[in-house]
Structure 1
């Protein structure tokens, strides 16, 4: 069973991996659109030296390699996305988001052969790549939630709406036994609410309209 600490740690790892993905994209933007950044006044000597050292790793050669690395980190971060109960997710929507995202994300480099000025080219390239990234993030998150929801074995999910309840009739001369029904693994089963010592304090809880007043009258 996953504890709160395990889930919290996994979420932190996912957030950090997504941050790495964004850092890779940011460095790629700076290197591929360097002239535009200089014209915008965002270039600095210390930044150039730091990024120059990072560039020696070979990770930022060309357009596809850094984008693929950023996408890989994004995919890893999406593994921690948790499914939601009764969430309406359509596979068609997932396919549209992912397909459009991948196409825009990788095809954005075509703006460099469009003959535009450096600033317009950089703006178009960064904008298209960012849109593709966000589309993949949305579609990937939906896909991850769909997969986790489909394999969820929690007894409180939409198929197993409740947990196993008392099905025995336990009675004595003072007991109050209320027949009931509950849903377990898609089957309606008979059960009993056995109040074997009604002289003790009894707490009846429920949401508004669930019949708490009627229960007190019956008791």
Structure 2
């Protein structure tokens, strides 16, 4: 019984870490694409004040890479704590290709922001 409770607790912690990872990505989009979001008429004043205060104390938004790095770290930690199911169709070559493509799309997309909105 104790082991089942431990596994449920670990699963909740891993889900929370995944949720934090998604939250960091959403915050990154909101912060660095604020010009487009404001142009669309979406204005959440309370969130703006919270994020400005958080940036003033923590400096998380000083660079576009910091929030992305935090998101990847929380996602990697949640993946390390979760046991996966073996699937014979997944090979190391496919994993490396997906990691490479994901790295390019996630970390090297700063030029999309430069086209229309200046930081």
Q: How does the TM-score come out when normalised to structure 1?
A: 0.49
Runs of 4+ in 1 over 4 A off after TM superposition: none
Q: Is 1:75 the counterpart of 2:112 in the alignment?
A: no
More helix per residue: 1 or 2?
2
Counting only pairs closer than 5 Å after superposition, residues 1-219 of structure 1 correspond to structure 2 as: 3-56=3-56, 57-84=58-85, 87-88=87-88, 89-113=90-114, 115-116=115-116, 118=117
Secondary structure at the counterpart of residue 108 of structure 2: helix
Give the equivalent residue in structure 2 for 1:177: none
Secondary structure at the counterpart of residue 60 of structure 1: coil
Q: CA deviation at 1:78?
A: 0.5
- For 1:84 and 1:68, how far apart are their aligned partners in 2? 26
Select the structure with the greater relative contact order (CA < 8 A; seq sep ≥ 6).
2
Q: CA deviation at 1:106?
A: 0.6
Gaps of 5+ in 1: 122-219
Q: How does the TM-score come out when normalised to structure 2?
A: 0.86
Q: CA deviation at 1:98?
A: 0.7
Q: CA deviation at 1:79?
A: 1.3
| 8 Å CA contact 2:33, 2:113 repeated in 1 | no
Instruction: Tell me how large the CA RMSD over aligned residues is.
Output: 1.8
- For 2:97 and 2:17, how far apart are their aligned partners in 1? 25
- For 2:9 and 2:76, how far apart are their aligned partners in 1? 18
Gaps of 5+ in 2: none
1:39-79 Cα offsets, whole Å, 9 max, x none, are 12221222211111121211121111111111101101101
| 8 Å CA contact 2:24, 2:71 repeated in 1 | yes
1:63-120 Cα offsets, whole Å, 9 max, x none, are 11111111101101101222325x212111111111111121110111123x33x5xx
- For 2:60 and 2:94, how far apart are their aligned partners in 1? 33
Number of equivalenced pairs: 115
- For 1:92 and 1:11, how far apart are their aligned partners in 2? 29
Give the equivalent residue in structure 2 for 1:173: none
